Amino acid sequence: MELFELVIEMKLLERRMTMYEEKYGVLSEDFYPALMSGKLESYDGYDETRADFSRWKGIYEIWLRRKEAYCEKKRRSEVSELLRFHPVY
C-alpha cells in the first residue's frame, strides 16, 4: 500500500472510531486497553454494547496496523520523497 493510501484509509477508520468515541465518551486509545484487559466485561450482557465493542475493537486494530505500516514507510524514506505532489498548471 502506498503512503497516501494508508493515510486515506486511516482517516476513514478514524471517522468510524469517532462515532464510537462520541457515543461512549472515551477515546479509542483508552477503550482498547480496557477492553483487552477485561475491564469492560460488565457490558457483555448488553447486545448493542457487545456488538459495538466488537466492531470498535476491529476498527481500532486495523487502524493500528495501518499506523504501523505508515510509520515504517516513513522511517525508510524522507517525507520529501513520500509527499504526493501534483502541480496544477
pLDDT digits (tens, 9 = 90+) for 60-76: 999 999 999 999 998 98
Q: How is the chain split into domains, by residue range?
A: 3-82
Query: Does residue 57 contact residue 32 with C-beta atoms inside 8 Å?
Result: yes
Picking from 20, 36, 38, the residue whose alpha carbon sits closest to that of residue 28 is 20
**In this predicted structure, what is the pLDDT of residue 84?**
76
What is the pLDDT at residue 46? 87
Residues 6+ apart with CB under 8 A from 62: 13
pLDDT of amino acid 13: 98
Spatial CA neighbour of 43 closest among 34, 1, 6: 34
> Whose CA is closest to 10, among 61, 78, 77, 66?
66
pLDDT digits (tens, 9 = 90+) for 14-36: 999 999 999 999 999 999 999 99
pLDDT confidence of residue 1: 86
